[in-house]
Chains A and B, each alone.
Chain A
Amino acid sequence: MSAHEEHPSHVPVYIKLAAALGIVTAVEVAILMMPLPNAAMYVGMYSLAAVKFGFVVAIFMHLKYDNKLLTGIFFSGFTIALATMVAMVSLINYQPTKTSINVKDTKELAALSTGNAENGPAVFKAKGCSACHVVSSVEGAVGQVGPKLDGLSERAKTRVAGKDAMAYIRESIENPGAYVVEKYPAGLMPANLRQTMSDQEYNDLVAFLAKL
C-alpha cells in the first residue's frame, strides 16, 4: 500500500480520459447519423468500443501501472472468452448447407455428363489430338500414330462388353492404356490428358467424339 504514495497522482489523467470517453461515445452515436457504408459503420463502432475498453482497463483499472502478472491473468481469461464467443457464434449461425465434401450436388453432376459437341473440334486441336488421330471433319487432323476416329461412335458402342460408347470414350481418354486398339503401340498416348482440361472442355470433347 505504501507503494501508492510514491506514485505521481493520476487524477489529471483520469479526468482527461473521462472527457475522451465521453467524446468517443458521442462519436459512436454520430457515426450512426452519417451516410456511411454499413461495413465502415461496423468497423468504426467495434474499433471505438475496443478503444474505450482498452483505455478503461489500462488507466482506470491501473493495469498499465500495475504488476504485469495481473494483465496476464485478465487477458488470458479475456482471450479464451473472446475465442469461445467467436467460435460459438460461427458454429451456430454459419452452418454450411452441404453435409459432406465428397458428394457433388445435382448441378455439378449434370454438368459432368452434358457437353457441347460444337466446341469439341476446338478442344481436339488445342490439346494436340490432331497430331496422332485422323478426323476427316477437322482440318489438320491427319496424324497416323493412333487409330482413325471417323465412325468412332458406332465402334465404341460394342468394343468393350458392358461399356456404352460414352463410357468407353471416357475410359480411353482418362486411362489410355485400358483398351489399346490392335496393332497400335501401347503407352504412346499421354495419360494425363484429362488433367489438362477443365470439366467443361472435357465434356465438350467427349460429346463431340461420341457423334463421329
Chain B
Amino acid sequence: MSTSTEEISTGGHVHSHPEAPEQGMLGPRPSAKRGIWSWLTTIDHKRIGIMYGLAALFFLVLGGLEALLIRLQLAVPNNALLVGDMFNQMFTMHGTTMIFLAVMPLIAAFFNFVVPLQIGARDVAFPRLNAFSLWVFIAGAVLINVSWFAGGAPNGAWVGYPPITGPQYNPGHNSDFWVMGLMLLGVSSVAASLNFFTTIVNMRAPGLSLMRMPVFVWMTIVTNILILLAFPPITIALAQLMMDRMFGANFFNVSKGGMPIMWQHWFWVFGHPEVYILILPGMGIVSEILPTFSRKPLFGYPLIVFSGAFIGFMGFAVWSHHMFTTGMGVIAVLAFSVTTSIIAVPTGVKIFNWIGTMWGGNLRMTTPMLYALSFISMFTVGGFSGIMHSAAAADMQQHDTYFIVAHFHYVLIGGAISALFGGIAYWFPKITGRLMDEKLGKWAFWIFFVGFNMTFFPMHILGLNGMPRRIYTYHADMGWNFWNHFCTAGAFVLAVGFLLFFINMFNSLKHGEIAGDDPWDGRTLEWSISSPPPEYNFAVIPQVTHLDDFWHKKQSGKASASWDGKLIHMPLPSYYPLICGVGMFVFGMGMIFLKDNMMVFLPIAVGGILLLTFAIFGWALEGPGGEMIDPTKESGAYN
C-alpha cells in the first residue's frame, strides 16, 4: 500500500490531487517554507520537537529561577525575602513548572524528534494533531503563568490538596489558573500520546518488529500508555475541584460530607504513573547512549524492555504509598508496601543491565556518556531512598520532610534531567548538524554534577533531622542552619552548570564542528540519514532486518541506500492547530474569571469554544493535503 505513489515518476514539485480543496475556510493553505509563519503552521515532527524543546528549556530556566529564590529564602533562618503566601506561590509554581512545563515537554521534544527517525517513518501518524498538542501545551503553559500578573500564582502545592485549594480557603483565582492550566496540559498530553501510540504501533518501517525496536521507542510507547491511562483520573479530579470552586459543588466540602481524602487518591492514581512518565523516557535515552559509547549491543535487551513495561504496569498499583500517613488501615498499607517493594525489582534489573552493557566495552567518555553515567549513579541513589519509603514505618517518619525532597530531586534531576541533557548532547548533532563542544560540555557536566549533589545530598540530613517541606522559614536553634546554607550555595553551583550547558548549546549552534551524518558511530536508523535530516527524513523507507539495524548494515557494508527515483508524498502545513490552541486559551481565561462577571466572561468562554469549533471544522474540511517532493530538487534541511 505504501508503494502506490511510487508508480508516479513525473519529476518536479507537483500537487498530487488537483480536486482536493486547496482553499480552506481561511483561504489558501499556508505555504511559507521559512520565517515565523513556517514555524507557526508547521506539521513537521522535527520542527515541532524543536519548539517543544525550546519551550521546555525556557520553562526549565523559569522554574530554576523560582528554585533559586526558594533557596535564597531558606539560606538563613528567619529570612524575610519570600514570606508566607508568596513562598507558597513560589514552590507551587516551581513544582508545577518543572514537572508539567519543563520535563514533560522536554520528553515530548525527544518523542517528536527522535521516534519517527528511529522507526523509519516520514512523520507521525497524525501530523496536524501533533501541532495541536504543541499549541495546546503552549496555551496551558502561558495560562498558568499569566496568574503571576492576575492576582497571584497557584499556591496549593503541585499536589493541590483541597481544602487548601478549595473555595473556602482559597477564594482568589490562584487555584483556578492551576486547575484550568492543568486541564489544558492534560488535553495536550493525551492528544500527543494517542498520536505517538498510533505512530509506534502503525508507522514502523517494514521489518521493524516489536523486539527490533530501539529501547527509546519502547519506553516511549510505555510512557504514552501511562499518559493515556493516568491523565483521565486527574482530569476528572480537576473537574470536580473546578465544580467546587466555580459552581459551589461539594466534592471536597467537608461541611456537606465531601471527602478531601478522595482528591489525594485520585491525584496519586495519576501522580505515581506520572513519576514513571518522567523517568521511563530517561531510561530509554540512557539505553541508547550506553551501547553507542560502549561499542557493544545493549546487554539483555528483552529484559530491559520487559522491565520497562512491567514498571509501567505496576505504576498503577502503588499510588497509596504517597498516603501512608493518612490512616488507610493496615491492609491497605501492607498491600501498597508490598507492591512498592516489587516495583524496585525491574528497576534494579535495568541498572544491572546497563552496567553489563558497559562491562568489557570500549568506553568513550563523551559528554552524553557522562550524563548517562550520572543518570545511573544518581538514579540509583534516588531509587534507594525511594525504596526506603516502601517500609511504611520509615515513611511515617520521613513523610513531608526534606528527606522526601532530596529523594525526588535525585530521581528527577539526577535521573530525568541527567538523561535528558545527555539526550540533548547525544542528538544535538542530528538536530543541528553541528557537534556540541566537548571541553565546555565536560566542564558543564562536572559543575552540574557537583552542584547537584551539594544542593540535594544535605537535604537527606535535614529531612532526617526533621525539617518539614514547604515551610518558608525556620528558627535558628533548630540545628538546620549550616546545611541550609550549604544547599543554597550548591543551588548556585548547579545553576552555573545549567548555564554553561546552555552557553555551549547556543555557541555550538553557530560555531560547533560539522557533525556529518553519523558522528558517534550510532546503531539506530536516525544516524543513517543526513544531519539535520531532510523534511521527509528518509528518501527511501528502510527495510529493517535486525535489532540495531543501522549497525548491522554498516558491518555488512550495505548502509547507504540511494534514492530510487520515486517522489515523496508529504502532508501540507495548516493554520488550524494554532487556532485550536488560541481557542483553548481564550476558553480557559473565560472559565477562570467566570464567577466574577458572568456577562463579560461567559461570552469569552463561549467565544473560545466557537473558535475551537471553527478550527476543528476547518481542519476536517481541508484534509491532510499533500505535495510530492523530489529529494534531488528540495534543499533538504527542515530548518
Contacts and interface: CB of A to CB of B under 8 A. Distances in A.
Is A in direct contact with B (CB under 8 Å) within the complex?
yes
Interface string B261-305: 110011001000000000000000000000000000000000000
A88 B269 contact: yes
A11 interface: no
Would you call the interface of chain B mostly helix, strand, loop, or mixed? helix
B331 interface: yes
Contacts of A80: 229, 316
B229 A81 contact: yes
Interface string A87-107: 010011001101111000000
B316 A95 contact: no
A161 interface: no
A96 B316 CA distance: 23
B228 interface: yes
Contacts of B332: 91, 95
Contacts of A8: none
A91 B330 contact: no
B320 interface: yes
A69 interface: yes
B330 A77 contact: no
B201 A99 contact: no
Interface string B231-274: 00100000000000000000000000001011001100100000
Contacts of B269: 84, 88
Interface in A53-72: 69
Give the bracket for the number of chain A residues in contact with chain B.
10 to 19
B330 A101 contact: yes
B259 A91 contact: no
Contacts of B233: 84
Given A84-B269, A84-B316, A98 B201 contact: no
Given A84-B269, A96-B330, A99-B329, A91 B320 contact: yes
B327 interface: yes
B201 A77 contact: no
Given A91-B265, A91-B320, A77 B328 contact: no
A76 B261 CA distance: 27
Given A69-B201, A91-B265, A92-B262, A77 B329 contact: no
A23 to B, nearest CB: 33
Contacts of A100: 330
A99 B327 contact: yes
A4 B515 CA distance: 50
A98 to B, nearest CB: 7
A91 B229 contact: no
A31 to B, nearest CB: 31
A101 B333 CA distance: 12
Interface in B178-236: 201, 225, 228-229, 233
A84 B170 CA distance: 30
Contacts of A101: 330
B265 A95 contact: no
Residue of A81, A84, A91 with most chain B CB atoms under a 10 A cut-off: A91
A91 to B, nearest CB: 6
A9 B127 CA distance: 35
Given A84-B269, A84-B316, A95 B329 contact: yes
Contacts of A69: 201
A92 B201 contact: no
B330 A99 contact: yes
Contacts of A96: 329-331
Residue of B201, B265, B266 with most chain A CB atoms under a 10 A cut-off: B265
Contacts of A81: 229
B457 to A, nearest CB: 34
A132 to B, nearest CB: 43
Contacts of B201: 69
A91 B330 CA distance: 11
A80 to B, nearest CB: 6
B298 to A, nearest CB: 26
A98 B330 contact: yes
Ranked 9 nearest A-B pairs via Cβ: A96-B329, A95-B329, A101-B330, A80-B229, A80-B316, A91-B332, A88-B265, A77-B229, A84-B269
25 contacts: A76-B225, A77-B229, A80-B316, A81-B229, A83-B316, A84-B269, A88-B266, A88-B269, A91-B320, A91-B328, A91-B332, A92-B261, A92-B262, A92-B265, A95-B327, A95-B328, A95-B329, A95-B332, A96-B330, A96-B331, A98-B329, A98-B330, A99-B327, A99-B329, A101-B330
Interface of B: 201, 225, 228-229, 233, 259, 261-262, 265-266, 269, 316, 320, 327-332
Interface of A: 69, 76-77, 80-81, 83-84, 88, 91-92, 95-96, 98-101
